[in-house]
């Protein structure tokens, strides 16, 4: 029984292995011809091939290369670019020169570990093709001054190419009256909707980060973003006992327990509720301005997304929470000058318009095209004195996932009363800080 | 236990024994380089506070202390144990039962192969399908409402139930895997044992207890070992079920493996803490080792030969 | 040979089993059917047949999603790494079961414990090692990593396997004066073939679906494997909205080859799996 013929012999296997190794070495060393320094750069992007942002970026990159002769090798790496790919690359010498992501990803993964480069130089550069304008002139102060863009020393580490505000989105084709501006009028509207049989609100119950927008904004308006930050940093947790917190919790409890939320909001999986909203089963959804583009492919016919700002709740309202997407450079970048030129090139109005049009996003530039669905958010952001990231840039590892989101989530899903929420989050926060040690 | 040939005495035997070294060397080398070495590195990292790049600070056993005091880690440990014990129990009982049932069925091989199928698809598939099946307007509820007249179906996908769903999916895949193994093991029991049972008028329960289980015990104990280790590593299923690929699942559904992952990649706004990842992973490895040792003690029986 | 005893009253249980089997098949069929729908159809009519079925999703997946190249990468890395893993693990498992050295048992246990080491822990050290050898973003590097991380499971499974092989054949060969390697290759391996095939297929399945190492080790788009390409689609959910149809097409491209493979050699695999676990 000579069935040993069927199994590859040791020699064959060795040959295969050697062949594979040779192939691998060949491809690893192949690389490409060495270009002169300053004439090339490596850009790793958070977008994947085929996404609208990628289309706009690719067109701009082609123009950039034609205009400056700098060759850009771009990897359309996907959302994990700054979380997984960059950290691994930073332990080697093959570091990209430019990356992009949202500021709330770049800060924990690049700024806190100290590997983000300061980009003050970029802000002082001229915007190509726009006489007399520097980059710092076209990025409004409200974005530039935000803690979202700042290194601990104060220098900016990112140049944004798109900003996302948070609004209460609704269908302008169905809700034709002008949106209410204060909380009581808003509640009255919700009541009318409820009576007429439309669910006033919806949210994906298990996506705690989206549920917490209601709490975030109520607190921003009543105690300010810095106030929320201060509460989070209180090691005793007692600051949660402020009356403003209880007031906010009461409103959310009302939503959860009095049927303001679409039935089943706490029994589905993302993106179920977005779909329901886009198909007209619920009126309002509080979300970032990426919502219209996310639901585009399954919204009902004639759906016209529009948004209103968070209603006045009678607090010292200042500023807006904004997520900024933009370019950053690692400290170890090799082609620094080329990278800075690239980033400056991307602040032109041409690119801003193209990106806004293709991807339906808001540009930080005041003069850029504004997609119709985001006109409400733009208005909301105009004339605002300051913007900030979530909780004014709070940077306490684990607090959001272990203290804030789960407890707010329980409140939002109807499992806690308002007072119960206050008591629970005080205790959870105290336990959290105790465990953190010093 | 040795059906292997008797070691030959004298120089020929010693030459044979020496030849075994180069046979095992490559595998041992690879094991050291790719598994043991990195595991030791992980021990070192677990004593630091670092993002893996940038700065790092030696903190001794602080990470372990933080683990022990973290209620989220306690939940994760509990979930992992639930998976291990409940998942394992249900899987093996169902596996044996299925084996008994399938033996008598026509088309048993087809059935068995199809039951194995969940093990070859990515965890994304059941997660997405569950989203469509069990959402409030999904197929299951539609059927419940129209056919069975249930007006208020349970909230299948509520966060409270997510872990139960995860458990069910894990069991579903494991049943396919282990039934396959157990069935093949039981198939090898010679028929004359069963004929004797028939002659003695044994009930099916007695047959199970006195013939089937003892003669497949070896296989079962290896399976128990395999299940222990793989259940402690369950990670992708929890990630995809609870959070999709863009978000982190709610912390009430975490297993220890997901805790490790979140310490590096998943935290909202949290910088990566490789030290915590390594510490929690090592704790899970210790638990696996402890359970494995316990199992060996509990399941060790004189091998029944036939 | 099946026993002649009939277990009575099993009809409902048998039906339940066939129901589960049918559900598994239905699941696969649904994924397949949904991959032929546009995203809007997926949401509007998830349970109907596509009208008309469209291959657009597959085109998108192949071109834009890079699935064509990723499939080739996955196939090459999967087959090579599984072959190499078996080639290295088999002699080692054999040696560990036949040796009289006292180190034999603890070493086997070491391999067994190695299966418990989670990937996220060894990810960074492996990356550091491979990048110092300039092997990141190469298929070679990934293959090496897969072979290395396959050692615990493959050796462990194969030791059980070799331990159950009767020793008479080797006795006969030794009497004829055959050396260890000759005995192994010409006598033992052919008899052990079912087990080797089993381990090969199981390892192939693992490496086909492996995500973490591939994501971190492969920085280039060109060198992506299928699971990474699939994640690329799924992640578009955030900020641009998922292309659900495309994602289903991607899932099918990942799943179907495995289903076909298993339908073809499944019987051999499952038989082989148990041969090593007895005694």
Three-state SS string over chain A comes to: CCHHHCCCCHHHHHHHHHHHHHHHHHHHHHCCCCCCCCCEEEEEECCCCCCHHHHHHHHHHHHHHHHHCCEEEEEECCHHHCCCHHHHHHCCCCCCCEEEEEHHHHHHHHHCCCCECCCHHHHHCECCCCCCCEHHHHCCHHHHCCHHHECCCCCECEEEEEEEEEEEEEECCCCCCCCCCEHHHHHHHHHHHHHHCCEEECCCCCCHHHHHHHHHHHHHHHHHHHHHHHHHHCCCCHHHHCHHHHHHHHHHHHHHHCCCECCCCCCCCCCHHHHHHHCCCEEEEEEECCHHHHHHHHCCCCCCEEEECCCECCCCCCCEEEEEEEEECECCCCCHHHHHHHHHHCCCHHHHHHHHHHHCCECCCCCCCCCHHHHHHHHHHCCCCCEECHHHHCCCCCHHHHHHHHHHHHHHCCCCCHHHHHHHHHHHHHHHHHHHCC
- pLDDT tens by residue, chain B, 306 residues: 344 556 666 666 677 778 888 899 999 999 999 999 999 999 999 999 888 887 888 999 999 999 999 999 999 999 999 999 999 999 999 998 888 888 777 777 788 888 888 888 878 788 888 888 888 888 888 888 888 887 788 888 888 888 999 999 999 999 988 888 888 778 777 788 888 888 888 887 788 788 888 877 878 888 888 899 888 888 888 888 876 656 778 888 999 988 988 888 867 778 888 899 999 988 988 888 888 888 878 877 655 555
Contacts of C217 in chain A (CB under 8 A): 88
Mean pLDDT across A135-142: 94
The overall average pLDDT reported for chain A is 89
* Minimal-distance CA residue of chain C relative to A290: C239
* Nearest CB neighbour to C120, from listed B19, B117, B261: B261
The answer on pLDDT for A23 being more than 80 is no
Substitution target in B128, B130, B169, B269 with the highest count of A β-carbons within 10 Å is B269
C220 CB near a chain A CB, below 8 Å?
A: yes
| Block residue for tokens 């009318």 | A192
Q: How far is C144 from chain B (nearest CA, A)?
A: 9
* Nearest CB neighbour to C148, from listed B30, B111, B274: B30
CB A106 within 8 A of CB A167: no
Torsion, Cα of A109, A111, A117, A119 (10° steps): 120
Mean pLDDT across C65-81: 92
Distance between CA atoms of residues A211 and C144, nearest Å: 45
* Minimal-distance CA residue of chain B relative to A78: B246
Q: How far is A438 from chain C (nearest CA, A)?
A: 26
Number of alpha carbons in the 13 Å side-chain half-sphere of residue B31: 26
C131 CB near a chain A CB, below 8 Å?
A: yes
Contacts of A208 in chain B (CB under 8 A): 250
Confidence of residue A37 (pLDDT cuts 50, 70, 90): low
Q: How far is C1 from chain A (nearest CA, A)?
A: 26
Distance between CA atoms of residues B14 and B7, nearest Å: 9
Q: Determine whether the interchain pair B272/A394 forms a contact, defined as Cβ–Cβ distance below 8 Å.
A: no
pLDDT in tens, C131-188: 888 888 899 999 999 999 999 999 988 888 787 777 777 777 777 777 788 888 888 8
Question: What is the reported pLDDT for A30?
Answer: 42
Q: Point out the least confidently predicted range of A375-389, A404-418, B89-103.
A: B89-103
CB C123 within 8 A of CB A83: no
Longest dimension (CA), chain A: 90
Mean pLDDT across A372-401: 91
Burial (CB < 10 A; 0-12, 13-18, 19+), residue C177, is: exposed
Question: What is the reported pLDDT for A356?
Answer: 96
> Can you tell me whether residue C149 is helix, strand or coil?
helix
What does each C-alpha distance from C264 to B113, B180, C25, C160, C252 come to in angstroms? Answer: 10, 16, 16, 25, 18
Mean pLDDT across A68-95: 90
* Minimal-distance CA residue of chain B relative to A438: B62
Q: How many CB pairs under 8 A join A and B?
A: 124
Question: What is the reported pLDDT for C80?
Answer: 97
Substitution target in A397, A405, A412 with the highest count of B β-carbons within 10 Å is A397
The answer on pLDDT for C123 being more than 50 is yes
Q: Residue B292, Cβ neighbours under 10 Å: how many?
A: 19
ipTM of the complex: 0.86
* Minimal-distance CA residue of chain B relative to A106: B269
Mean pLDDT across A214-229: 93
Question: What is the reported pLDDT for A180?
Answer: 93
B142 CB near a chain A CB, below 8 Å?
A: no
Q: How far is B298 from chain A (nearest CA, A)?
A: 37
CB C88 within 8 A of CB C132: no
Contacts of C193 in chain A (CB under 8 A): 3, 6-7
Mean pLDDT across C46-68: 83
Does the global pTM surpass 0.80? yes
Q: Residue B171, Cβ neighbours under 10 Å: how many?
A: 18
B:118-137 residues touching chain C, CB 8 A cutoff? 118-122, 124-125, 128-129, 132
Higher-confidence position of C243 and A187: A187
The b-or-e profile of A278-298 (16+ CB within 10 A means b, else e) is: bbbbbbbbbbbbbbbbbbbbb
Q: Determine whether the interchain pair C185/A290 forms a contact, defined as Cβ–Cβ distance below 8 Å.
A: no
Q: How far is B215 from chain A (nearest CA, A)?
A: 31
Neighbors of chain C with 3 or more C-beta pairs under 8 Å: A, B
* Nearest CB neighbour to B272, from listed A109, A409, A437: A109
Please provide residue A112's backbone torsions phi and psi, each rounded to the nearest 5 degrees: -60, -45
Q: Determine whether the interchain pair B198/C147 forms a contact, defined as Cβ–Cβ distance below 8 Å.
A: no
Q: How far is A427 from chain B (nearest CA, A)?
A: 12
Q: Determine whether the interchain pair B269/A104 forms a contact, defined as Cβ–Cβ distance below 8 Å.
A: yes
The answer on pLDDT for A143 being more than 50 is yes
C:159-188 residues touching chain A, CB 8 A cutoff? 185-186
Mean pLDDT across A7-12: 55
Q: Which residues partner with B106 through β-bridges?
A: none
* Nearest CB neighbour to B247, from listed A205, A207, A406: A207
**What is the separation of C-alpha A405 from the centre of its chain, rounded to a whole number of angstroms?**
17
The answer on pLDDT for A89 being more than 60 is yes
The answer on pLDDT for A33 being more than 50 is no
Q: Determine whether the interchain pair A113/B248 forms a contact, defined as Cβ–Cβ distance below 8 Å.
A: no
The closest alpha carbon to C4, from B192, B200, B186, belongs to B192
Substitution target in C11, C14, C120 with the highest count of B β-carbons within 10 Å is C120
pLDDT in tens, C232-245: 888 887 888 877 88
Q: Determine whether the interchain pair B155/A267 forms a contact, defined as Cβ–Cβ distance below 8 Å.
A: yes
CB C268 within 8 A of CB C198: yes
Contacts of A290 in chain B (CB under 8 A): none
Confidence of residue C4 (pLDDT cuts 50, 70, 90): very low
Contacts of B62 in chain A (CB under 8 A): 437
> Can you tell me whether residue B60 is helix, strand or coil?
coil
Longest dimension (CA), chain B: 82
The closest alpha carbon to B227, from B164, B174, B172, B186, belongs to B174
Question: What is the reported pLDDT for A354?
Answer: 96
* Nearest CB neighbour to A87, from listed B53, B62, B248: B53
Question: What is the reported pLDDT for A308?
Answer: 94
CB C243 within 8 A of CB A277: no
| Block residue for tokens 């930080």 | A364
B1 CB near a chain A CB, below 8 Å?
A: no
Give alpha helix (H) positions in C35-138.
39-44, 56-63, 67-98, 104-114, 119-132
| Block residue for tokens 């298929």 | C139
Confidence of residue A9 (pLDDT cuts 50, 70, 90): low
* Minimal-distance CA residue of chain B relative to A206: B159
Contacts of A435 in chain B (CB under 8 A): 66, 69-70
pLDDT in tens, A256-297: 999 999 998 988 888 889 989 999 999 999 999 999 998 988
Q: How far is A174 from chain B (nearest CA, A)?
A: 23
Q: How far is C113 from chain B (nearest CA, A)?
A: 7
DSSP per-residue string spanning B97-148? HHHHHHHTSTTHHHHHHHHHGGGGS-THHHHHHHHHHHSTTSHHHHHHHHHH
The closest alpha carbon to B234, from B82, B101, B72, belongs to B82
**What is the separation of C-alpha B201 from the centre of its chain, rounded to a whole number of angstroms?**
39
CB A114 within 8 A of CB A161: no
Question: What is the reported pLDDT for C151?
Answer: 95
The closest alpha carbon to B37, from C128, A90, C105, belongs to C128
CB B31 within 8 A of CB C148: yes
Q: Determine whether the interchain pair C3/B195 forms a contact, defined as Cβ–Cβ distance below 8 Å.
A: yes
Q: How far is C144 from chain A (nearest CA, A)?
A: 9
């Amino acid at each position: 029984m000579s069935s040993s013929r069927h199994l590859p012999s040791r020699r064959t296997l060795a040959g295969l292995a050697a062949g594979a190794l040779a192939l691998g070495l060949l491809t690893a060393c192949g690389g490409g011809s060495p270009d002169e320094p300053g004439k090339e750069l490596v850009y790793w992007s958070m977008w994947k091939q085929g996404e609208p942002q990628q289309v706009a970026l690719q067109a701009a990159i082609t123009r950039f290369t034609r205009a400056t002769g700098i060759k850009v090798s771009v990897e359309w790496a996907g959302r994990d670019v700054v979380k997984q790919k960059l950290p691994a690359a930073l332990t080697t010498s093959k570091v990209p020169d430019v990356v992009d992501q949202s500021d709330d990803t770049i800060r924990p993964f690049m700024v806190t570990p100290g590997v983000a480069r300061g980009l003050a130089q970029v802000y002082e550069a001229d915007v190509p093709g726009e006489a007399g304008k520097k980059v710092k002139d076209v990025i409004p102060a409200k974005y530039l001054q935000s803690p979202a863009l700042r290194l601990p020393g104060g220098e900016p580490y990112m140049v944004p190419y798109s900003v996302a505000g948070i609004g209460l989105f609704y269908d302008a084709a169905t809700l034709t009256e002008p949106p209410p501006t204060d909380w009581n009028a808003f509640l009255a509207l919700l009541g009318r909707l409820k009576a007429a049989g439309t669910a006033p609100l919806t949210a994906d119950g298990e996506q705690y980060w989206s549920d917490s927008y209601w709490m975030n904004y109520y607190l921003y308006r009543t105690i300010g973003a810095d106030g929320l930050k201060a509460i989070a940093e209180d090691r005793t947790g007692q600051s949660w006992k402020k009356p403003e917190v209880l007031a906010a919790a009461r409103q959310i409890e009302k939503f959860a327990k009095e049927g303001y939320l679409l039935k089943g909001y706490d029994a589905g999986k993302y993106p179920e509720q977005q779909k329901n909203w886009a198909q007209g089963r619920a009126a309002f959804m509080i979300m970032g301005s990426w919502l219209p583009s996310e639901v585009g492919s399954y919204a009902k016919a004639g759906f016209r997304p529009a948004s209103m700002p968070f209603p006045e709740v009678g607090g010292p309202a200042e500023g807006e929470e904004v997520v900024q997407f933009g370019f950053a450079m690692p400290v170890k970048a090799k082609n620094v000058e080329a990278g800075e030129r690239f980033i400056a090139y991307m602040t032109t109005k041409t690119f801003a318009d193209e990106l806004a049009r293709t991807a339906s996003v808001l540009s930080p530039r005041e003069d850029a095209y504004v997609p119709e669905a985001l006109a409400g958010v733009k208005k909301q952001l105009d004339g605002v004195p300051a913007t900030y990231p979530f909780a004014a840039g709070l940077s306490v590892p684990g607090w959001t996932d272990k203290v804030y989101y789960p407890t707010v989530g329980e409140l939002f899903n109807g499992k806690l009363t308002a007072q119960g929420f206050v008591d629970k989050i005080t205790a959870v926060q105290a336990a959290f800080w105790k465990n953190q040690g010093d | 236990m040795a059906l292997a040939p008797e070691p030959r005495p004298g120089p020929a035997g010693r030459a044979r024994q020496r030849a075994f070294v180069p046979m095992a060397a490559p595998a041992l080398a690879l094991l050291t380089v790719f598994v043991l070495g990195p595991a030791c590195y992980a021990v070192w990292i677990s004593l630091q506070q670092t993002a893996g790049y940038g700065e790092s600070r030696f903190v001794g056993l602080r990470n372990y202390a933080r683990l022990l005091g973290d209620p989220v880690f306690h939940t994760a440990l509990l979930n992992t144990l639930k998976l291990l014990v409940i998942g394992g129990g249900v899987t093996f009982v169902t596996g044996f039962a299925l084996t008994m049932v399938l033996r008598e069925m026509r088309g048993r091989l087809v059935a068995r192969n199809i039951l194995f199928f969940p093990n070859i698809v990515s965890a994304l598939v059941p997660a997405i399908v569950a989203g469509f099946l069990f959402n409030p307007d999904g197929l299951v509820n539609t059927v419940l409402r129209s056919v069975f007249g249930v007006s208020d179906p349970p909230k299948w996908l509520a966060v409270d139930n997510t872990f139960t769903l995860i458990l069910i999916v894990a069991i579903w895949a494991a049943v396919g895997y282990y039934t396959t193994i157990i069935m093949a093991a039981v198939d090898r029991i010679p028929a004359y044992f069963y004929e004797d049972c028939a002659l003695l008028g044994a009930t099916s329960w007695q047959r199970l207890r006195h013939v089937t289980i003892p003669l497949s015990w070896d296989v079962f104990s290896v399976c128990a070992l395999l299940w222990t280790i793989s259940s402690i590593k369950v990670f992708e299923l929890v990630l995809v079920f609870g959070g999709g690929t863009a978000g982190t699942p709610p912390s009430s559904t975490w297993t220890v493996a997901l805790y490790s992952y979140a310490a590096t990649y998943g935290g909202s706004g949290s910088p990566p803490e490789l030290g915590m990842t390594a510490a929690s992973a090592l704790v899970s490895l210790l638990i696996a080792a402890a359970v494995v040792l316990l199992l060996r003690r509990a399941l060790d029986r004189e091998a029944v030969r036939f | 040979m099946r026993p002649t005893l009939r277990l009575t009253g099993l009809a409902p249980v048998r039906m339940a089993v066939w129901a589960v089997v049918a559900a598994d098949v239905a699941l696969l069929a649904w994924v397949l059917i949904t991959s032929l729908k546009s995203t809007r159809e997926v949401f509007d009519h998830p349970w109907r047949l596509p009208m008309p079925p469209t291959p657009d999703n597959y085109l998108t997946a192949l071109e834009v999603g890079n699935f064509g190249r990723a499939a080739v990468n996955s196939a090459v890395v999967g087959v090579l790494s599984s072959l190499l893993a078996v080639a290295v693990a088999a002699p080692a498992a054999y040696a560990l079961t036949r040796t009289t050295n006292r180190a034999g048992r603890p070493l086997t246990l070491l391999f067994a414990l190695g299966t418990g080491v989670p990937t996220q822990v060894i990810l960074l050290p492996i990356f550091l090692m491979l990048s110092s050898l300039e092997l990141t973003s190469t298929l070679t590097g990934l293959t090496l990593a897969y072979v290395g991380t396959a050692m615990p499971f493959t050796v462990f499974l194969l030791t059980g396997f070799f331990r159950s092989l009767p020793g008479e054949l080797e006795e006969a060969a030794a009497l004829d004066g055959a050396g260890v390697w000759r005995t192994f290759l010409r006598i033992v391996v052919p008899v052990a073939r079912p087990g080797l095939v089993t381990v090969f297929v199981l390892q192939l399945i693992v490496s086909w679906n492996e995500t973490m190492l591939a994501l971190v080790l492969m920085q280039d788009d060109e060198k992506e494997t299928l699971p990474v390409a699939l994640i690329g689609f799924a992640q578009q959910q955030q900020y641009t909205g998922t292309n659900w149809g495309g994602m289903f097409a991607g899932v099918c491209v990942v799943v179907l080859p495995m289903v076909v493979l298993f339908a073809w050699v499944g019987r051999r695999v499952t038989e082989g799996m148990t041969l090593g676990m007895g005694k």
